[in-house]
Structure 1
Amino acid sequence: MRSGREGGVESQERLWAEAMRAERAGDGIAYARFLEEFAAFLRRIVRYRLGHLGLDAGEAEDVVQEVLIAVHTRRGQWDASRPLLPWLNAIARYKVIDAARRLRKELRWRMHLGEDEWSSLLGVESGSRDITAEDVDRLVSDLPSGQQSVVRAIGLEGASPREAADRLGMNEGAVRVAFHRGLKRLMKATQKWRQQ
């Protein structure tokens, strides 16, 4: 006798596989229902896996959408004579692994800088003229506009390079270069500012 859980998996396999086969026959409604059910199932799994890895479970929806897009674009690759759930699981597993790598990498680049951190970053030594938020804002405002936008997004607002790239319509590499160059300019400007 099968356990209820095994029966549930077999039932899910059968229903979702039928929906995928129906999509191939032109039944968009069955396919849309499958995607909706699969997305709900994925959300729980992805949130758990990201949380278990010590990552922000709030990123789950992006990962779910990536999995759904991958399933949709590769749906023709599924062999209808084979079980569907292992195929779906493989796509989801690889997307979660990719997301975990990306999120860990982004964590290293996130910069939530307060006034004290900006002071030390900009080379303001103790005993020298105090730097205020207005001073930082003024120094950042003097940067070229591209560098200014990137430094504000990453340094002041705490966005990751990827988030800044998406927001500013740039590629991530260009954002990193602009941020590095902007910080170098800020350090030079700070030296002049301290001599005033």
Structure 2
Amino acid sequence: MKDGARVRVEDREKEWAGLMRASNAGDAAAYRRLLLELTPALRAFARKGVVRAGAAIADAEDVLQETLLAVHLKRQTWDQDAPLSPWLFAIARHKLIDALRRRGRRIELSIDDFAEVLPGGSDDSESIVSDVSRHLDGLPPGQRNVVRCIAVEGASIDETATLLSMSNGAVRVALHRGLAALAAKFRRVES
């Protein structure tokens, strides 16, 4: 680092630390000025971090806001005899990491970029009906009929009981057992 840049960084550090001390002593004007001076540096830090991680540049503003909020809430924890920048940028780094973790490893792409290569909508309702029927056919007849009435056709417990000449309790038991059998079947398929 050149001597001129080092002097500017040291001057900035002294100024920020002085403003933070005054802020912690209750000087609202100093606090306002501190936030105004910190914002560009923290914004640049956040932007650099989200770009490096491949996240959207808009995420940088969220990181900035979360950092400023954390600084506000934790400003009394800063040791007044220590430099301010390491404390400040440690908070910013943690907020950046938190934001990137929440975001996960997803990449955001506009669907408009792929409109010409994506197939048009198709009617898969026949395929879905055949899949449902195939899975229900693996159940015993009583469970199959109850699950079909309630889960597929949308009938209530009372309606199903009347339609199938069963008690409400027997319908509930058959529904529970049928759904449990289907769930077990799907777990085996996924394994």
Q: TM-score, normalised by structure 2?
A: 0.56
Aligned to 2:8: 8
The equivalent of 2:48 in structure 1 is 48
1:109 and 1:118 mapped to 2: Cα distance?
Answer: 22
Q: Note closer, same or farther for the CA distance 1:123–1:8 as it changes in structure 2 (3 Å cut).
A: farther
Say if 1:117 and 1:8 are closer, same or farther in 2 by CA, change over 3 A: farther
What runs of 5+ residues in structure 1 fail to find an aligned partner? 127-196
Runs of 4+ in structure 1 displaced over 6 angstroms?
A: 108-111
> Deviations along 1:35-78, whole A, 9 cap, x unmatched?
11111111112112111111111211111000000000000100
**Which runs of structure 2 are paired with 1:30-179 in the superposition (5 Å)?**
30-105=30-105, 107=106, 119=121, 123=124
- One-letter code aligned to 1:81: D
Instruction: Pick closer, same or farther for the CA change 1:73–1:111 going to 2, 3 Å.
Output: same
Indicate the structure (1 or 2) with the bigger Cα radius of gyration: 2
The 1:64/1:123 distance shift into structure 2, 3 A limit, reads same
Q: Alignment length, in residue pairs?
A: 123
The answer to whether the Cα contact below 8 Å between 2:63 and 2:99 also exists between their aligned partners in 1 is yes
Q: What is the alpha-carbon distance in structure 1 between the residues aligned to residue 126 and residue 13 of structure 2?
A: 65
Who is 1:22 aligned against?
22
SS in 1 for 2:104: helix
- Matched to 1:20, the amino acid is M
The sequence identity of aligned pairs, in percent, is 43
Distance of 2:28 and 2:37 partners within structure 1: 14
Residue deviations 1:131-172, cap 9 Å, x none?
A: xxxxxxxxxxxxxxxxxxxxxxxxxxxxxxxxxxxxxxxxxx
Give the distance between the partners of 2:71 and 2:19, measured in 1 at CA: 13
Deviation (angstroms), 1:31? 0.9
AA aligned to 1:123 is D
Paired with 1:109 and 1:57, the residues of 2 have a C-alpha distance of 11
Corresponding letter in the other structure for 1:13: E
TM-align CA RMSD: 3.1
CA distance in 2, matches of 1:86, 1:13: 10
Compute the displacement of 1:119 (Å).
3.8
Please give the TM-score of this superposition, normalised by the length of structure 1.
Answer: 0.54
Change in CA separation of 1:19 and 1:111 when aligned onto 2, cut-off 3 Å = same
Displacement of 1:14? 0.4
Higher relative contact order (CA 8 A, sep 6+): 1
